Amino acid sequence: MGDASPKCAEMATWRYWLGLFLLAFPILVLPGNSKSEVLPSPLSLAWCLERAAARNPAIAEEQARADAAHARTQYADTLDDPRFRYEASNIPIGDLDFDSTPLSGHQLGLSQRIPFPGTLANRRDAAEAGARAAEHAHEDRKGWVASGVESAWAELGFAQRALEITQRNIELLRQLVRVAEAKYRVGIGQQQDVLRAQVELTALLDEQLGRTSAIERASAELGALLDLAPGSRFPTTEPLSQTASVPDLGELRSSLEERNPQLLSLRAKVAEAERLVRTTEFEGYPDFDFGVGYRVRKRNSGDRVNGDDFLGASVTVRLPIDRSKWSAMKAERQALLRRSQATYRRVRATLFSSLHSSHAELIRADSESALLGTGLVPQARQSLESSHSAYAVGRTPFLGVLDSQVRLLNAELRWVRAQADRRQAYAALEATAGETLR
């Protein structure tokens, strides 16, 4: 009896630690239990834009490139580092010492390379133009990422609402199928009504699969833009409707070249290329190395200056006599300049075309959204209600009710699609214009 108590205590301790291990095992080992980020519900566009601005890797990439370009301006116009030289000079081979002759000594030297006047200034100007180009490119990337985020957010919102509309219509069709089957069983309905309703129901069930897949695709695209973990699940988005008016195309066109950051970046690239051409011209002129030397000597017999140290100075001139090399370097820079100018013209033409296309798409989506929201959708709902009432008293055939249901489904889907299209067109227009329009 005396030995039982310690054994019981030992068993209780063992069970205690085993229980803790079993509780902790799923947290420590099983996948999918890592702490995930909490997303706001409903999912707002403002939160997505803020998250993308802080975490999107493409924006971070352009930011790093801009930081590197700004750092380059800090040293672009600086001189090369001075050079120190030591030389053991005039040592007799026979004695290998510094005492045998007054010519021997320790030679110390310091030299500095000075480029042709104007070279450093043009290098600085080219670096500053490159920094401006990188900064504008960073702003342009932020604009297009924001456009992509809103487009993906709107696509996700459309897919979610399309799935809700489809599921709601599936339930209504199931009710119609039950009604049609009940009437057919008692002999007051037709078999073709049952078959037609079942066909429409099967089509909607198939469409439901596509809507679910669309949500997954939109979620993956938005998650990548927001730098979220793969497979992140998004809550329902905020409503897609917005009241911002359509901006004037003429004003956008007239301000495009002064506001679009991509064009500003390319214009700075042209300025950089021009400065690099000028820099190459200056680099084709002679540059100079100025140096001073000091020789440490020892006293020895026969030395007429009693071992005094020697002081010297030197000037070295680089002679760019191979003019073909410098002509080729200048031709290379001029070709790069022409390429920058051509790129600017090409992108400008593309942006003007995109501006017109985005504006036209915005007008279409805006008009369609207004027409569907205030006309077709309410009318389709009234038509469906009227068909149900007439069918209940036998004044409308079953197919008329079914057609009204299908028309309402299509009208609601088109309305939500138009709202998403309006969002996407507005986002593309702002990215192209390079300014906030709402």
Give per-residue pLDDT as tens, 70-126: 999 999 999 999 999 998 887 888 777 777 777 788 889 999 999 999 999 999 999
Question: Domain check: are 242 and 304 in the same one?
Answer: no
| Residue 37 is assigned to a structural domain of this protein | no
Phi, psi of 87 (to 5 degrees): -145, 125
| Residue 227 is assigned to a structural domain of this protein | yes
Question: Domain check: are 174 and 305 in the same one?
Answer: no
Question: Domain check: are 188 and 96 in the same one?
Answer: no
Give per-residue pLDDT as tens, 27-72: 333 333 334 678 899 999 999 999 999 999 999 999 999 999 999 9
- The residues, any chain, with a CB within 8 Å of residue 423's CB and separated by 6 or more, are 150, 151, 153, 154, 240, 242
Q: Is the pLDDT of residue 152 over 50?
A: yes
Residue 239 pLDDT level (bands cut at 50, 70, 90): very high
Q: Average pLDDT, stretch 184-205?
A: 79
CA separation (Å) from 97 to 106, 114, 296, 301?
A: 11, 37, 13, 15
| Residue 39 is assigned to a structural domain of this protein | no
Give per-residue pLDDT as tens, 311-343: 889 999 999 999 999 999 999 999 999 999 999
pLDDT value of position 195? 81
Question: Which of 319, 337, 371 corresponds to the end of one domain?
Answer: 319
Question: Domain check: are 248 and 379 in the same one?
Answer: yes
Of 2-11, 248-257, 350-359, minimum mean pLDDT range: 2-11
Question: Domain check: are 215 and 225 in the same one?
Answer: yes
pLDDT value of position 156? 97
pLDDT value of position 31? 39
Q: Average pLDDT, stretch 146-161?
A: 97
Give per-residue pLDDT as tens, 207-237: 999 999 999 999 999 999 999 998 889 999 9
pLDDT value of position 173? 82
Provide the token pair at 405: 């249901």
pLDDT value of position 94? 75
Question: Domain check: are 233 and 280 in the same one?
Answer: yes
For residue 313, give its domain range. Answer: 80-114+289-319
| Residue 350 is assigned to a structural domain of this protein | yes
pLDDT value of position 23? 42
Q: Which residues pair with 86 in a beta bridge?
A: 108
Taking alpha carbons only, the member of 407, 423, 411 closest to residue 371 is 411
306: left (phi over 0), alpha (psi -120 to 50) or beta: left
Question: Domain check: are 196 and 344 in the same one?
Answer: yes
Question: Domain check: are 354 and 419 in the same one?
Answer: yes
Q: Are 236 and 163 contacting, i.e. CB atoms less than 8 angstroms apart?
A: no
Give me the CATH number covering residue 391: 1.20.1600.10
Question: Which of 319, 340, 370 corresponds to the end of one domain?
Answer: 319
Q: Is the pLDDT of residue 307 over 90?
A: no
Q: Is the pLDDT of residue 258 over 90?
A: yes
For residue 33, the 8-state DSSP code is -
Of 275-284, 342-351, 403-412, minimum mean pLDDT range: 403-412
Question: Domain check: are 299 and 350 in the same one?
Answer: no
Q: Average pLDDT, stretch 389-399?
A: 74
Residue whose pair of structure tokens reads 């037609």 in the numeric block = 196
| Residue 369 is assigned to a structural domain of this protein | yes
Q: Average pLDDT, stretch 126-131?
A: 97
DSSP of 171-188:
HHHHHHHHHHHHHHHTTS
| Residue 20 is assigned to a structural domain of this protein | no
Give per-residue pLDDT as tens, 362-380: 999 999 999 999 999 999 9
For 102-151, the three-class secondary structure string (H helix, E strand, C coil) is CCCEEEEEEEEEECCCCHHHHHHHHHHHHHHHHHHHHHHHHHHHHHHHHH
For 284-326, the three-class secondary structure string (H helix, E strand, C coil) is CCCCEEEEEEEEECCCCCCCCCCCCCEEEEEEEECCCCCHHHH
pTM here is 0.81
Give per-residue burial for 396-421: e unless 16+ CB within 10 Å, then b: bebbebbbbbbbbbebbbbbbbbbbb
Q: Report the domain count for the chain.
A: 2
Question: Domain check: are 310 and 165 in the same one?
Answer: no
Cα–Cα distance, 255 to 244 (Å, whole number): 20
| Residue 22 is assigned to a structural domain of this protein | no
Return the percentage of the chain with pLDDT > 90, whole number: 64
Q: Is the pLDDT of residue 191 over 50?
A: yes
For residue 43, the 8-state DSSP code is B
Task: Say if strands 105-114 and 83-89 run parallel, antiparallel, or are unpaired.
Answer: antiparallel
Helix (H) or strand (E) holding 89: strand 83-89
Q: Is the pLDDT of residue 3 over 50?
A: no
Cα–Cα distance, 72 to 162 (Å, whole number): 52
Q: Is the pLDDT of residue 8 over 50?
A: no
Q: Are 76 and 124 contacting, i.e. CB atoms less than 8 angstroms apart?
A: yes
Cα–Cα distance, 154 to 106 (Å, whole number): 78
Cα–Cα distance, 135 to 262 (Å, whole number): 10
pLDDT value of position 17? 47
Question: Domain check: are 238 and 176 in the same one?
Answer: yes
Question: Domain check: are 255 and 129 in the same one?
Answer: yes
| Residue 423 is assigned to a structural domain of this protein | yes
CA separation (Å) from 358 to 232, 309, 352, 362?
A: 31, 80, 10, 6
Residue 301 pLDDT level (bands cut at 50, 70, 90): low
